[in-house]
Amino acid sequence: MEIIAQYGSIFLIMACVFGFFMAWGIGANDVANAMATSVGSKALTLRQAILVAMIFEFLGAYFAGGEVTATIRKGIIDPQVMSNHPELLVYGMLSALLAAGTWLMIASIKGWPVSTTHSIVGAIVGFASVGISIDAIYWGKVSTIVASWVVSPLMAGTISFGLFMSVKTLILDTDDPFHRAKKYIPIYMWMVGFMISMVTLIKGLKHVDLDLGLGLGSAFANALPISAVMGLLVAGLGSLMMRRIKDAPNEMHRFQSVERVFGVLMVFTACSMAFAHGSNDVANAVGPLAAIVSTVQSGGQIAAKAPVPWWLLLIGAVGIVIGLATYGWRVIVTVGRKITELTPSRGFAAELGASATVVIASATGLPISTTHTLVGAVLGVGFARGIGALNLRVIGNVFVSWIITLPAGAGLSILFFFLFKWIFGP
């Protein structure tokens, strides 16, 4: 308690700086994943993608980032173990933010798409297991995270593979692909609107004090009719935009016209994915930050949950936007261009497959990683064209970076934890 009273102001400043650094890492790495398919397929330029992401990630993070955030991220550690030594929680969460931010910076510079959730989880597990007690960790939660390494990419890859095969069968491999595209794409647009609305209502807005249950059943069931209507609105707006695209006279340009129709679709997926992602993943930076602020401001009382002041969400939102604008292009290039060649039709299948996976996982309680989901979806689309369409060396590097994320976050966190303990006291 004395340490909290003595160094409280310093801890708050450090928490804000490290929280911003972590949010920067989320922008540079995770947000880049959400935009990668749109840029890789040339539906949006890099500058347009950054602009779209800046607007919609900020809106999602700031307005839907959450009224209440669990201070102990994802329930990984038991806060009561540290009730007599609240400074250990502060050291630990500072260490976790700095460690995860450092690892995300390294991964972003290398162009590796890694999971921000796994980075912060690895960091929290690291400081808690070595610096506090093995018994302080909920190991069942950690095992579900490890399971998500397999579940997320496999599910997204399978759905995206099926979607792209349906696009090939119904549109691309036909005698008149342009008119078939105009006929079937509104149906895909409805699916995009429906899925993105479900992602936002179930996963994105879960941090907002919004009761979707309405006393009539589960939030999932009540989100269905809202999402169906949103799908119709997206299909209607997309159909109006498609009217401006004319068929080309010769065979080569005809496929360009088809891809331009899919390009319209990708604009919708890019905006919506950015909003849903911002609203959900800002908690990776703000969760530990809220834990520190709550503990310091209460004079050392550790609460299971803490209200999140608006300025914490602002730190997270601004950090995410600056991270994307400064270093996001490296991960965008890896996922959007280096794994497999993407066109708007392939990019659409990947993004919708990733969205569908997030919705299914949210409904069934499966562990999920946005990064692994999107990379798996891109792999599924590439595999639909044959194994030769995939850059296996790049894929190998990505998988290795996934495996070392947890231990890297944990190792850095342990190092920083003992450094802070040495600087500030027992």
Ranking 204-213, 368-377, 389-398, 405-414 by mean pLDDT, the lowest is 204-213
Instruction: Give CA–CA dist 96/287, Å, rounded.
Output: 11
Rounded mean pLDDT of 283-290? 77
pLDDT at 69 over 50: no
302 band by pLDDT with thresholds 50, 70 and 90: low
Instruction: Give CA–CA dist 14/11, Å, rounded.
Output: 5
Rounded mean pLDDT of 142-166? 83
- The pLDDT of residue 136: 77
Instruction: Give CA–CA dist 41/263, Å, rounded.
Output: 8
95 band by pLDDT with thresholds 50, 70 and 90: very high
- For the entire predicted model, the pTM comes to 0.78
Q: In the chain, what percentage of residues exceed pLDDT 70? A: 83
Ranking 122-136, 247-261, 316-330, 406-420 by mean pLDDT, the lowest is 247-261
Instruction: Give CA–CA dist 222/193, Å, rounded.
Output: 16
20 band by pLDDT with thresholds 50, 70 and 90: very high
For residues 167 and 344, is the Cβ–Cβ distance under 8 A?
A: no
Cα–Cα distances (Å) from 299 to 8, 85, 196, in that order, read 8, 12, 42
Rounded mean pLDDT of 366-391? 77
Instruction: Give the residue carrying structure tokens 């800002």.
Output: 282
- Sequence-distant (≥ 6) Cβ neighbours of residue 122 within 8 angstroms: 99, 100, 405, 406, 407, 408, 409, 410, 413
Q: What's the domain count of the chain?
A: 1
Domain range spanning residue 95?
Answer: 2-424
Instruction: Give CA–CA dist 317/226, Å, rounded.
Output: 27
Instruction: Give CA–CA dist 223/45, Å, rounded.
Output: 33
Q: End-to-end distance of the chain based on CA atoms, in angstroms?
A: 11
Q: What's the mean pLDDT when you consider all of the chain?
A: 78
More confidently predicted of 276 and 56: 56
Q: Residue 124 carries which side chain, given as an amino acid letter?
A: I
